[in-house]
């Protein structure tokens, strides 16, 4: 996972909010859920996301050493400009979409016959979601989204692949296939939109839904990072809510912290901290602990989880393993199941080609930075990135002078959180 490098942070409150102005949402009609773009223009994404797994080169190490010399332990990394050679060639908004690479597991939650089975299915999905968002072991930094930046995509999931995973067989080892549906009528459509709604603090929102399964997820997150010597640590602040409308259940969940280790040699990523999943209606909750590696010995990427029925104080499921490897689940009836995250089928995103994307859509917005990074021209990539960020600063100063708050397209502020403008639970 790469969100540890997301370093822009401020304690200022964002004043965004309000209804979206007319005509700002492309292709959107009243009560149309997330019909945000023309889906017939979407094509399967075959862009290679593997990052070159090289250590830090000598000239790059000197740049990082110079940067470190200016930092203090525990320092908030608000104003620090990181070198361009650590960029990952995708926006943070797209990285959130990549966590949805197993949509069959997400949609299978609604097929659970009981509240117990559904919360366990969600925990299984949650634990398998992180590994696919991190391509390769090397720690790199996704682009910091520009305010107003959006990312749209969808997935088509064959209906015969969506089953309660407690009983459904998994793909054979090494299969890591890319399932595709020949007939759209035999598939579920899962739509996704993300938007950067605030610059100070840097708040990202994403929403996804499957109308047919009456399931949606609404999430808002922002980051708080600090310097830890040879590591960078990032806390993910905010929460997500999974809604199963058929069962009238809401599952509120939080996200783990992330750490970039060994930043002077071969940087690598680990997750850490305790996260929670709670369903107030059913009384079920889960605690998930991402264990950081001890200084001496010990395994990396360990995770443990416990699912409890709070009214009876009964533990109904335990899990342990590695979030990017093998996970073992033990149920209250004594049954066990093993999930190997490396062999789960990956569903490619469907995304419109660049020429059909708007100017503020992630891949189009960052296309020149990405192009120069692929060419290995770090100076040109740095200049393109500087141009985008300077334009953002100029526009921000204009809004401050005019005292005009930024109004996002797809999300509105409700209390301390952000909610998609036309969510499935409000559509009729």
Quick: pLDDT tens for 198-225: 988 889 999 999 999 999 999 999 877 7
What's residue 86's pLDDT?
60
pLDDT at 258: 77
Check whether 149 has a pLDDT greater than 80.
Answer: yes
Model confidence at 424: pLDDT above 70: yes
CB neighbours of residue 149 within 10 Å: 25
User: What does pTM read for this prediction?
Assistant: 0.81
Q: What is the pLDDT of residue 226?
A: 73
How many other C-beta atoms can be found within 10 angstroms of the C-beta atom of residue 396? Answer: 14
The predicted structure's pLDDT at residue 12: 38
Provide the pLDDT for residue 77. Answer: 56
Sorted by sequence, the CB contacts under 8 Å of residue 147 that are 6+ apart come out as 196, 197, 198, 199, 392, 396, 406
| pLDDT exceeds 90 at position 367 | yes
Q: Which has more pLDDT, 355 or 227?
A: 355
In this prediction, residues 146-167 reach a mean pLDDT of 86
Tell me how far apart the alpha carbons of residues 143 and 366 are, in angstroms, rounded to a whole number.
8
Query: Span 138-162, mean pLDDT?
Result: 88
Q: What pLDDT is stored for residue 307 in this prediction?
A: 97
CA torsion angle for 418, 421, 425, 426 (degrees, to 10)? Answer: 130
Which two structure tokens, joined as six digits, stand for 291? 């264990």
| Cβ-Cβ contacts under 8 Å for 215 (sequence gap 6 or more) | 106, 107, 109, 110, 209, 242, 243, 244, 245, 424
Structure tokens at 348: 């490619």
Determine which of 252-266, 304-318, 411-425 has the lowest per-residue pLDDT on average.
252-266
Q: Looking at residues 271-275, what average pLDDT do you find? A: 87
pLDDT at 59: 54
Give the pLDDT mean for 189-200. Answer: 94
Q: Tell me what the pLDDT averaged over the chain comes to.
A: 79
Q: Check whether 66 has a pLDDT greater than 50.
A: no
User: 118-137 pLDDT, tens per residue?
Assistant: 999 999 999 999 887 665 55
**pLDDT at res. 357:** 94
Residue 71 has pLDDT above 80, yes or no: no
Q: What is residue 420's predicted lDDT score, i.e. its pLDDT?
A: 96
Mean pLDDT of 408-415: 94
Q: Per residue in 157-188, is it b (16+ CB within 10 Å) or e — as a string?
A: bbbebbebbbeeeeeeeeeeeebebeeeeebb
Band of residue 61 on the pLDDT scale cut at 50, 70, 90 = low
pLDDT for residue 23: 30
pLDDT at 237: 87
pLDDT band at 414 (very low <50, low <70, confident <90, very high): very high
pLDDT above 90 as % of the chain: 48
Residue 44 has what pLDDT? 77
Q: What is the CA radius of gyration of the chain?
A: 21
Within 10 Å of residue 386's Cβ, how many Cβ atoms? 13
pLDDT tens digits for 239-266? 999 999 999 999 999 998 777 766 666 6
Q: Which of 64-73, 116-125, 283-292, 330-339 has the lowest mean pLDDT?
A: 64-73
pLDDT of residue 141: 75
First-to-last C-alpha distance (Å) of the chain: 37
């Amino acid at each position: 996972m790469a969100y540890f490098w997301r370093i822009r942070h401020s304690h200022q409150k964002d004043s965004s909010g309000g209804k979206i102005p007319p005509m700002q949402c492309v292709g959107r009609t009243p009560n149309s859920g997330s019909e945000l773009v023309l889906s017939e223009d979407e094509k399967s994404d075959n862009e290679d996301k593997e990052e070159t797994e090289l250590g830090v080169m000598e000239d790059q190490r000197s740049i990082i050493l110079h940067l470190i010399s200016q930092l203090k332990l525990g320092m908030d990394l608000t104003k620090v400009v990181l070198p361009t050679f650590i960029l990952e060639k995708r926006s943070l908004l797209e990285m959130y979409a990549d966590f949805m690479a197993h949509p069959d597991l997400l949609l299978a939650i609604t097929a659970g016959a009981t509240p117990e089975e559904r919360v366990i299915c969600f925990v299984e999905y949650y634990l398998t979601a992180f590994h696919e968002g991190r391509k390769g072991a090397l720690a790199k930094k996704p682009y910091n989204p520009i305010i107003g930046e959006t990312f749209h995509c969808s997935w088509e999931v064959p209906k015969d692949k969506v089953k309660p995973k407690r009983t459904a067989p998994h793909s054979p080892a090494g299969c890591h296939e890319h399932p595709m549906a020949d007939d759209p009528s035999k598939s579920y459509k899962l739509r996704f939109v993300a938007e950067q709604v605030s610059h100070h603090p840097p708040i990202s929102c994403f929403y996804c839904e499957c109308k047919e399964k009456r399931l949606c997820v609404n999430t808002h997150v922002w980051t708080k990072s600090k310097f830890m010597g040879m590591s960078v640590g990032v806390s993910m602040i905010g929460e997500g809510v999974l809604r199963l409308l058929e069962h009238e259940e809401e599952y509120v969940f939080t996200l783990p912290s992330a750490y970039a280790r060994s930043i002077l040699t071969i940087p690598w990523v680990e997750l850490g901290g305790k996260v929670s999943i709670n369903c107030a209606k059913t009384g079920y909750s889960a605690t998930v602990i991402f264990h950081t590696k001890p200084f001496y010995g010990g395994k990396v990427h360990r995770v443990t989880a416990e699912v409890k029925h709070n009214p009876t104080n009964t533990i109904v499921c335990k899990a342990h393993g590695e979030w990017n490897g093998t996970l073992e689940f033990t149920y209250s009836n004594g049954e066990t199941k093993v999930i190997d995250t490396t062999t789960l089928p990956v569903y490619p995103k469907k995304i419109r080609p660049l020429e059909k994307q708007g100017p503020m859509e992630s891949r189009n917005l960052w296309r020149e930075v990405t192009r120069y990074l692929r060419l290995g021209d770090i100076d040109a990539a740095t200049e393109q990135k500087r141009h985008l960020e300077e334009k953002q600063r100029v526009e921000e100063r204009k809004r401050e002078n005019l005292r005009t708050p930024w109004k996002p397209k797809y999300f509105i502020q409700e209390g301390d959180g952000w909610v998609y403008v036309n969510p499935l639970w409000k559509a009729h």
